[in-house]
Amino acid sequence: MRQTIAEIVDKHLPDSSHFVVDIQIVEKGPKKSLKILIDADHGINIDTCALVSRAVGEEIEAKELMDTAYVMEVSSPGVDFPLSFRRQYQKNIGRSLMVVLANDQTIEGKLTAVDQRGISLLTKKKEKGKKAVEESLNLPFDQIRKSIVLVSFK
């Protein structure tokens, strides 16, 4: 079901700069909840979410994919939603990330580069009695379990 809905959403996105991040179907009580997260290489706006919501809702109804009443929400992933795709990393270059590695180590740093293999973070390394030194770390995607953008209010 998730795959079918993802294909429908993908078909109704405005252009190739937009992409599906996640589809969640949650059953709580008598109503299902369908949460669709979409993003774009240069950000997304509410008008795009509304357009996609209408088109997807109409197609789901026409194909009778949901057998009971449901609530559908189309939105962008919030800043607290983990980055899932290289495209999301790309648009966050220059921002601070918290990265959890496969070995449970947590690293915070400024995202400086993204390539096919992974990301580069500029971190501050502190040594006892010395001033913090900036260090560039290259982290392969296969070693990253989760990455979240850190919001700064400076």
The pLDDT tens digits along the chain (154 residues) read 889 999 999 999 999 999 999 999 988 877 889 999 999 988 899 999 999 999 999 999 999 888 788 899 999 988 789 998 999 999 999 999 999 999 999 999 999 999 999 999 999 887 777 787 889 999 999 999 999 999 877 6
Strand partners, 120: 113, 138
Q: Which domains does the chain carry?
A: 2-75 (3.30.300.70), 86-149 (2.30.30.100)
Q: Do 112 and 103 contact (CB within 8 A), yes or no?
A: no
Write a three-state SS string for 11-23.
HCCCCCCEEEEEE
Residue 132 is predicted with a pLDDT of 78
> Which tokens sit at 47?
């008008």
